[in-house]
Amino acid sequence: MTQDEQYLRLISIFHYVVAGMAALFSLFPTVHLVLGILFVSGALKDAQDPMVFPLVGWVFIVFASMWILCGLTFSTCVFVAGRNIGARRRYTFCLAMACLECMFMPFGTILGIFTIIFLLKDKVKAQFGVAVPEAGLSNEKPGT
């Protein structure tokens, strides 16, 4: 196994770890979702203004649901990118997800930057089946 293959395997494993962390963090608003459901159902009532709690409850439900949905979608995409890196498929998707991972600080940023740097190597592009530029137009130094 070459060094590039070992790095790709490690990057793939780290994508699984970051995907799990992103999924866990995306479930934090579950507390807000439950609280919103309690507000809407009437379990928590205000005798002075009965319309306030249902309105606030729906705001909680909508924002918590959107946050959870977006977070789980992101973590699923990171997981799929890890699988694709391991299988050497879908180069463009893996590169795009590496760019998006940079928003998930600090772990996604670190993984995203290393993934971008590594995926831009000509040898790695060749493993993915991406057309490599001719000699003289390469982004690597001669002899590497």
H or E stretch including 140?
none
Q: What pTM, to 2 d.p., does this model score?
A: 0.82
Q: What is the length of the chain?
A: 144
Would you kindly state where each structural domain of the chain is located, as residue ranges? 3-128
Give me the pLDDT at residue 79, please.
Answer: 97
Give me the pLDDT at residue 48, please.
Answer: 64
pLDDT tens for the 144 residues of the chain, in order: 788 889 999 999 999 999 999 999 999 999 999 999 998 887 776 656 666 778 888 999 999 999 999 999 999 999 999 999 999 999 999 999 999 999 989 999 999 999 999 999 988 898 888 887 776 555 556 655
Q: What is the DSSP letter of 118?
A: H
Match 């306030």 to its residue by tokens: 52
Give me the pLDDT at residue 21, please.
Answer: 95
DSSP reduced 3-state for 45: coil
Contact 15/82 with Cβ under 8 angstroms? yes
Q: Which two tokens stand for residue 23?
A: 């999924």
Determine phi and psi for 49, rounding to 5 degrees.
-135, 95
